């Protein structure tokens, strides 16, 4: 018998951690290789972690709700016999690295005190000495719920022999150990735990707003001809193809075409350089009642309007069925958001980090406009662009929006092919 470790995998580019949302197995369960062990959340996506071995679950090291860095052990599996040399070689090297990085923590705690990153972060924020906390998890392990219970009670345990670092002034030490003020909860208030996808969204949005200097601009577009063309062919299209021809597909196609002509817009900030992406992969926002997902239409500039409409429909179906994969979310270079579907006419989107721009397509509304000195009622839409001012300036963004406007205003039966 050998004990093998299952570790948190990297479930996407730039992903450094994952949160265990649900265990699909328990200690003592028999599993086969590739059987799903747990549901894990990263930035806006759910994925399942498969078993790398066939055997019996020995121990679930991480709890539901714990956030672990890529490479951290989440559970162990008891395997009959021994794995092959090829299977052992990589884990052995990784185990050595894991041991060296965790020795300091293990030396400072007893055998039952394996602290998850979520527990460590909460305890540091609230000045809680973990040596004085009685854990309720397996084997006395301290869980996130244990820390939250202490914070809510207001009874913060503190070490009697706490030492003050000689190099730090007393005021700074007091500031670090002071508990964070909590929002008072009154009768009738509802507390909604910040877990799951909402927690990942909050972290990603905070990072984007803190690191990216956002700027904003807007342009009006007359889409009267586009509306007439789409409404003329939508029923025939639905009967023939089996899915809807949405307005949004026309906008995504126009943006993809303009990105090809203005490649600066398809760039990312990389610290000491700007990376201009070759592929034009459009991220689109798909909302559920309590979350937002951003799947990617890859090589959107090479797809027809029909092809884009098909992918929009497929992604919406997958999101609502909970079947969106990590691969579906990877590789986006620019985001287009259909805020108009909720009736919005003007908004400022938060950029999808590390991209350099997000375009909000607002609601199409009939408005009076002046054409050749005459007032006419036209179908108008606002396009609102948020941009990373480290990467993009007003000149290129203005030209990009003008090109998108030109493409959309010339969309018609005579000029545009859906296929």
Give the CATH number, domain containing residue 401: 3.30.559.10
Distance CA 92, CA 319 (A): 38
Q: Provide the token pair at 174.
A: 């007091």
- Same domain for 85 and 20: yes
C-beta separation of 285 from 398 below 8 A:
no
Residue 362 in domain:
yes
- Indicate the pLDDT class of residue 393, thresholds 50, 70 and 90: very high
Greater pLDDT, 191 or 136: 191
Residue 261 domain-assigned? yes
State residue 65's pLDDT score: 84
Query: What distance in Å separates the CA atoms of residue 376 and residue 363, rounded to the nearest whole number?
Result: 19
User: What own/partner pairs with CB < 8 Å and gap ≥ 24 does 148-151 have?
Assistant: 148/122, 150/126, 151/122, 151/126, 151/179, 151/182
Averaged pLDDT score across all residues of the chain: 83
* Phi then psi dihedrals of residue 173, to 5 deg: -65, -40
* 224 closest CA partner among 410, 18, 13: 410
Cα 104 to Cα 146: distance, rounded to the nearest angstrom: 23
pLDDT at 176 over 70: no
| 135 in a structural domain | yes
Q: What is the pLDDT of residue 92?
A: 42
Which pLDDT belongs to residue 361? 98
Across residues 110-132, what is the average pLDDT? Answer: 64
Whether residues 308 and 357 fall in one domain:
yes
Q: Are residues 51 and 92 in the same domain?
A: yes
pLDDT in tens, 73-85: 999 999 987 554 4
Domain boundary among 59, 87, 108: 108
Pair (69, 206) in one structural domain: no
Q: Is residue 403 part of a domain?
A: yes
Lowest mean pLDDT among 43-52, 274-283, 301-310: 43-52
On whether both 92 and 146 belong to a single domain, the answer is no
Within-domain flag for 193 = no
Non-local CB neighbours of 91 within 8 Å, separated by 6+ positions: 4, 5
Most confident region among 65-69, 159-163, 228-232 by mean pLDDT: 228-232
Report phi then psi at 36, rounded to 5: -70, 135
Instruction: Report how far residue 332's alpha carbon sits from residue 71's, in angstroms, rounded to the nearest whole number.
Output: 25
> What is the per-residue pLDDT for 155?
74
Same domain, 290 and 378: yes
Per-residue confidence (pLDDT) for residue 213, from 0 to 100: 96
Whether 164 contacts 172, CB under 8 Å: no
CATH number at 15 reads 2.40.50.100
Mean pLDDT to the nearest integer, 202-224: 93
Indicate if 166 and 230 belong to the same structural domain.
no
- Strands (E) across 311-390 are located at 334-337, 357-361, 365-371, 374-388
SS3 251: helix
Domain annotation covers residue 188: no
For residue 404, the model assigns a pLDDT of 99
Number of domains in the chain: 3
The pLDDT, as a whole number, for residue 231 is 97
Residues 280 and 234 in one domain: yes
Which of 32-36, 260-264, 272-276 is predicted least confidently?
Answer: 32-36
- Letter string b/e over residues 110-144, b meaning 16 or more CB atoms within 10 A of that residue's CB: eeebbbbbbbeebbeebbbebeebebebeeebbbb
Q: What is the pLDDT of residue 377?
A: 97
Please return the burial class of 74, using the count of CB atoms within 10 Å of its CB with bins 0-12, 13-18 and 19+. buried
Question: What mean pLDDT is predicted for residues 356-373?
Answer: 96
Phi, psi of 361 (to 5 degrees): -95, 110
Above 60 in pLDDT, residue 86?
no
Model confidence at 284, pLDDT cuts 50, 70, 90, reads very high
Which structural domain, as residue segments, surrounds residue 124? Answer: 117-183
pLDDT band at 351 (very low <50, low <70, confident <90, very high): very high
The catalytic residues are: 389, 393
Centre a 10 Å sphere on the Cβ of residue 12 and count the other Cβ atoms it contains.
19
Indicate the burial class of 292 (C-beta count within 10 angstroms; 0-12, 13-18, 19 or more).
middle
102 and 161 in a single domain? The answer is no
Nearest to 59 by CA among 29, 35, 81: 29
- Where among 108, 131, 161 does a domain terminate? 108
Gap between the terminal Cα atoms of the chain: 59
Query: Do residues 260 and 368 both lie within one domain?
Result: yes
> On the CB side of 316, how many CA atoms lie within 13 Å of its CA?
11
Per cent of the chain over pLDDT 90 is 54
Within-domain flag for 170: yes
Model pTM?
Answer: 0.64
Residue 76 lies in a domain: yes
> Coil, strand, or helix at residue 73?
strand
Mean pLDDT to the nearest integer, 280-302: 91
The reported pLDDT for the residue numbered 41 is 80
Mean pLDDT: which of 34-48, 162-176, 287-301 is highest? Answer: 287-301
CB-based contact 130:123 (threshold 8 Å): yes
User: Taking residues 132-157, what's their average pLDDT?
Assistant: 75
Q: Is the pLDDT of residue 360 over 70?
A: yes
Residue among 332, 265, 324 at smallest CA distance from 298:
332
Overall average pLDDT of the 223-251 stretch: 97
Asked if residue 172 and residue 308 are part of one domain, the reply reads no
Residue 148 is encoded by which pair of tokens? Answer: 């939250």
Residues 332 and 203 in one domain: yes
Given 183, 214, 231, the domain boundary residue is 183
Lowest-confidence segment of 153-157, 258-262, 319-323 by average pLDDT = 153-157
Distance CA 86, CA 235 (A): 57
* φ/ψ (deg, to 5) at 250: -65, -40
């Amino acid at each position: 018998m050998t004990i093998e470790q299952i570790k948190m995998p990297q479930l996407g580019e730039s992903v450094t951690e994952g949160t265990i949302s649900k265990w699909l197995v328990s200690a003592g369960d028999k599993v086969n290789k590739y059987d799903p062990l747990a549901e894990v959340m990263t930035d806006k996506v759910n994925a399942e972690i498969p078993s790398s071995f066939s055997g019996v679950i020995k121990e679930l090291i991480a709890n539901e709700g714990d956030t672990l860095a890529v490479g951290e052990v989440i559970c162990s599996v008891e395997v009959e016999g021994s794995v092959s040399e090829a299977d052992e070689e990589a884990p052995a090297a990784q185990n050595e690295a894991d041991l060296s990085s965790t020795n300091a923590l293990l030396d400072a705690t007893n055998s039952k005190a394996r602290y998850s990153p979520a527990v460590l972060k909460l305890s540091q924020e609230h000045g809680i000495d973990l040596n004085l906390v009685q854990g309720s998890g397996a084997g006395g392990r301290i869980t996130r719920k244990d820390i939250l219970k202490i914070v809510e009670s207001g009874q913060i345990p503190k070490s009697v022999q706490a030492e003050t670092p000689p190099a730090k002034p007393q005021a700074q030490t007091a500031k670090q150990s002071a508990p964070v003020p909590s929002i008072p909860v009154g009768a009738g208030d509802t507390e909604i735990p910040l877990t799951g996808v909402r927690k990942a969204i909050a972290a990603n949005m905070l990072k984007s707003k803190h690191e990216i200097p956002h700027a904003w601009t807007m342009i009006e577009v007359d889409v009267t001809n586009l509306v007439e063309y789409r409404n003329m062919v939508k029923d025939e299209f639905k009967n023939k193809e089996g899915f809807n021809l949405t307005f949004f597909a026309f906008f995504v196609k126009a943006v993809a075409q303009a990105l090809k002509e203005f490649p600066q817009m398809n760039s990312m900030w990389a610290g000491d350089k700007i990376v201009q992406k070759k592929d034009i992969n459009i991220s689109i926002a798909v909302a559920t009642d309590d979350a937002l997902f951003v799947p990617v239409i890859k090589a959107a500039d090479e797809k027809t309007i029909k092809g884009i409409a098909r992918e929009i429909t497929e992604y919406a179906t997958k999101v609502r069925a909970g079947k969106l994969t990590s691969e579906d979310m990877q590789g986006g270079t620019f985001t287009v958001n259909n805020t108009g579907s909720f009736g919005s006419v003007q908004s400022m989107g938060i950029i999808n980090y590390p991209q350099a721009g997000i375009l909000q397509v607002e609601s199409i509304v009939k408005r009076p406009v002046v054409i050749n000195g005459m007032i006419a009622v036209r179908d108008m839409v606002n396009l609102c662009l948020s941009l990373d001012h480290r990467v993009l300036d007003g000149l290129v963004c203005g030209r990009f929006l003008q090109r998108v406007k030109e493409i959309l205003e010339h969309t018609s039966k005579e000029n545009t092919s859906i296929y």
